[in-house]
């Protein structure tokens, strides 16, 4: 999902600035541009699950106190004032956690049922809606109708892509990259010109969910660059943005060559150094035949078959026969099956022969990354924290 800050006003401001820079001759169409991404923290506090539920009740109460204070009469008492009167800070090891989770869940249910009974349209307020979602992702009702706290083993937990992490910004998501980088927020994709004889001008800034793949941002970047009359001839990216599907789409729709390394082939044959990966097979598209390292020619050619992933290319599958593979002296380097024969999957010729795929990320992209990582070595010190104020 693309997140549009300030209702698209930032985009319009960038449009205006780029139009002026174009007039001044500082940026032009059909040059080389590069894109890389960095994480952006949501301007919200880092909350434990129990703190999140408690803060969600507090946020919903505050919203109702502003929009329909009469609804709170007879519901909010001194005890609720003590629990939800100020920002919650329970820490990772609160006292009596089970009692607290059930008491807070019970309060949330009471509040939502009360609002639903008296003024159901108030259930669509942003904070009240966030409370409903946060309740669903943290509690469930067992067979006897009792409220239960969800765990991975008991009731299950939602995936990060849909789990709300703050009632104050329901679009922020928890994400991790590698073993070190974990954050709650978004991903910013920065595109800039990188011709050696010109100035570097930022031509697009896109913000997406923290959990979404970089490759999903590419079509939107090209659409906006096309609208601004600033499409590049060559677009340099790292492996997070490349897939044959997106490379082909960029070439067909925008006449842009996307240059970057394709994701690593994860099949067993590619992981093991001495195994026969797809690349050691010779493919003859005209004859619809594949020749293996032992000189055998495939007996079947099927597809292309669509794949379930929107970023994966359709695959042609070539099959060898049992009579070819069973007696093969190097079969253990080729296939794990002891009885059947090797199959090889590969994309159609028009995708396979696309210009653009490289072995390593282009040096120009690595240069951007060094700049970004220099600025945000600790993700918790993202610029977003300077731009946006904490709400809790």
Query: Could you say which of 160, 200, 294, 297 contacts ligand SF4 (CB under 6 A)?
Result: 294
CB of residue 338 vs ligand SF4: minimum separation in angstroms? Answer: 11
Applying CB under 6 A, does 342 fall inside the site for ligand SF4? yes
Cβ neighbour number for residue 156 with a 10 Å cutoff? 11
Which residue's CB is nearer to ligand SF4, number 133 or number 294?
Answer: 294
Q: How far is CA 156 from CA 85, 134, 251, in A?
A: 31, 14, 43
Cβ neighbour number for residue 27 with a 10 Å cutoff? 26
CB of residue 333 vs ligand SF4: minimum separation in angstroms? Answer: 7
- Tokens 């890389």 belong to which residue? 36
Q: Which residues contact 180 (CB under 8 A, 6 or more apart)?
A: none
Whether residue 259 has a cis bond before it, omega within 30° of 0? no
DSSP 3-state assignment of 364? helix
CB of residue 345 vs ligand SF4: minimum separation in angstroms? Answer: 13
Applying CB under 6 A, does 320 fall inside the site for ligand SF4? yes
Do strands 202-209 and 234-236 pair parallel, antiparallel, or not at all (unpaired)? unpaired
CB of residue 347 vs ligand SF4: minimum separation in angstroms? Answer: 19
Q: Give the range of 12-20, 199-207, 319-327, 355-363 binding ligand SF4 by CB under 6 A.
A: 319-327
Q: How many residues bind ligand SF4 (CB under 6 A)?
A: 14
Q: Give the range of 42-50, 183-191, 258-266, 287-295 binding ligand SF4 by CB under 6 A.
A: 287-295
Question: Phi, psi (5° rounding) for residue 208?
Answer: -125, 170
DSSP 3-state assignment of 264? coil
Query: Could you say which of 331, 376, 379, 382 contacts ligand SF4 (CB under 6 A)?
Result: 331
Query: Could you say which of 44, 334, 365, 384 contacts ligand SF4 (CB under 6 A)?
Result: 334
Which residues form the interface with ligand SF4 (CB under 6 A)? Answer: 276, 292-294, 296, 320, 324-325, 328, 330-331, 334-335, 342
């Amino acid at each position: 999902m693309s997140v549009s800050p300030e209702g698209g006003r930032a985009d319009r401001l960038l449009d205006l600035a780029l139009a002026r820079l174009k007039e001044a001759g500082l940026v032009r169409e059909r040059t080389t541009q590069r894109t890389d991404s960095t994480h952006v923290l949501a301007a919200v506090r880092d909350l434990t699950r129990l703190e999140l539920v408690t803060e969600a009740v507090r946020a919903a109460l505050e919203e109702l106190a502003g929009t329909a204070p009469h609804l709170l009469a007879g519901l909010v008492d001194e005890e609720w004032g003590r629990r939800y009167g100020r920002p919650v800070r329970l820490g990772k090891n609160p006292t009596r956690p089970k009692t607290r989770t059930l008491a807070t869940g019970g309060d949330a249910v009471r509040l939502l049922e009360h609002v639903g009974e008296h003024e159901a349209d108030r259930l669509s307020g942003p904070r009240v809606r966030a409370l409903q979602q946060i309740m669903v992702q943290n509690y469930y009702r067992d067979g006897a109708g009792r409220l239960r706290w969800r765990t991975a083993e008991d009731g299950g937990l939602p995936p990060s892509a849909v789990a709300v992490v703050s009632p104050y910004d329901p679009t922020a998501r928890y994400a991790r990259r590698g073993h070190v980088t974990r954050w709650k927020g978004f991903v910013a994709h920065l595109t800039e010109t990188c011709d050696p004889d010109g100035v570097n001008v930022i031509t697009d800034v896109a913000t997406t969910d923290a959990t979404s793949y970089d490759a999903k941002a590419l079509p939107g970047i090209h659409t906006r660059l096309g609208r601004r009359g600033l499409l590049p001839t060559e677009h340099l990216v790292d492996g997070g943005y490349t897939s044959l599907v997106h490379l082909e789409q960029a070439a067909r729709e925008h006449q842009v060559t996307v240059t970057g390394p394709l994701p690593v082939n994860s099949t067993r044959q590619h992981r093991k150094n001495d195994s026969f990966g797809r690349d050691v097979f010779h493919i003859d598209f005209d004859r619809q035949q594949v020749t293996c390292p032992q000189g055998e020619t495939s007996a079947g050619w099927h597809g292309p078959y669509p794949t379930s992933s929107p970023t994966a290319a359709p695959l042609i599958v070539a099959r060898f026969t049992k009579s070819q593979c069973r007696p093969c002296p190097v079969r253990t380097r080729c296939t794990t099956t002891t009885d059947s024969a090797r199959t090889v999957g590969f994309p159609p010729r028009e995708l396979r022969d696309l210009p653009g795929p490289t072995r390593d990320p282009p040096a120009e992209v690595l240069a951007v990354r060094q700049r970004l990582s220099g600025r945000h070595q600790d993700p918790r010190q993202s610029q977003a924290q300077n731009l946006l104020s904490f709400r809790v």
